[in-house]
Amino acid sequence: MASQNQPRGAFIVLEGADRAGKSTQCQMLVEHLTAKGVAAELWRFPDRTTAVGKMINSYLTSQSEIDDAAVHLLFSANRWEKREELLRKLHAGTTLVVDRYAYSGVAFTAAKGLPGLDRAWCMAPDAGLPAPDAVFFLSLTVEAAEARGGYGEERYEKAEFQRKVLDQFAAMRSSSWRMIDASQPIDAMQRQLREQAAVVVARCQRGTEAVGKLWESGAVGGAPLTQLNQ
């Protein structure tokens, strides 16, 4: 691709279970980058504004029932439909701070423990999507999350299920993920994120980094295929 290895925006993903503080941290990070003169946007998956996203929203709010495999593919399709715009923004120099990505997709479906829907199956539809330049994993125990006023009303927001989600994240975690202790005060966590994000933004700005692809080895968050199915 001609636009590879040109100065570009950074693709930064924040992951973690529900109530870890991802949305707050993403918002603060984008405000900080913008104030520093870095073009930055906050994105989130699922993106509930698209036609596919509306189906996902209706599923998450229990207004509809969708087969588990089918809804998994919708979450993935929701990323694929944003792929072109995502790449366009990065190559135009905009840094994207993204609240959840394919890692949530894999962890939440695999946590259901359904026959046939193992981690390898869950990863397959996202293969080839743009890989983030950095994954920050906001780590928080279920007990600490519950102490924050409990989970919400949406599907999946139950302690027992969240435990399984955390197990899945742990199983797919790659050494390239940056673990952030999400039990810290908001400002301390944000300071850590800013410091690490600045390095990633500068690296992409220098124009030495091509956008990788999921789940290729070498790409951030890419799991070695040999570790699948374990």
- The correct pick among 75, 137, 161, 177 for binding ligand NYM (CB under 6 A) is 75
Pick from ligand NYM, Mg ion, none: which does 100 bind, CB < 5 to 8 A by kind?
A: ligand NYM
Q: Does 151 bind ligand NYM (CB under 6 A)?
A: no
| Between 126 and 209, CB nearer to ligand NYM | 126
Task: Name the nearest CA neighbour of 123 among 47, 48, 230.
Answer: 230
- Determine contact, residues 119/106, Cβ cutoff 8 Å: yes
3-state secondary structure 42-94: EEECCCCCCHHHHHHHHHHCCCCCCCHHHHHHHHHHHHHCCHHHHHHHHHCCC
Determine the interface stretch with ligand NYM among 82-90, 99-107, 112-120, 166-174 (rule: CB under 6 A): 99-107
Q: Does 60 bind ligand NYM (CB under 6 A)?
A: yes
- Determine contact, residues 133/12, Cβ cutoff 8 Å: yes
Least distance in angstroms from the C-beta of 100 to ligand NYM = 4
- Determine contact, residues 17/167, Cβ cutoff 8 Å: no
- Tell me the CA distances in angstroms from 98 to 26, 27, 183, one per residue in order: 7, 10, 21
Q: Tokens at residue 53, please? A: 């996203």
Q: Does 46 bind ligand NYM (CB under 6 A)?
A: yes
Q: Does 100 bind ligand NYM (CB under 6 A)?
A: yes
Residues 185-224 that bind ligand NYM (CB under 6 A): none
Beta bridge partners of residue 46, listed in sequence order: none
| Between 38 and 182, CB nearer to ligand NYM | 182
How many residues bind ligand NYM (CB under 6 A)? The answer is 11
Interacting residue ranges for Mg ion, rule: CB under 5 A: 18
| Footprint on this chain of ligand NYM (rule: CB under 6 A) | 18, 45-46, 60, 75, 99-100, 104-105, 108, 156
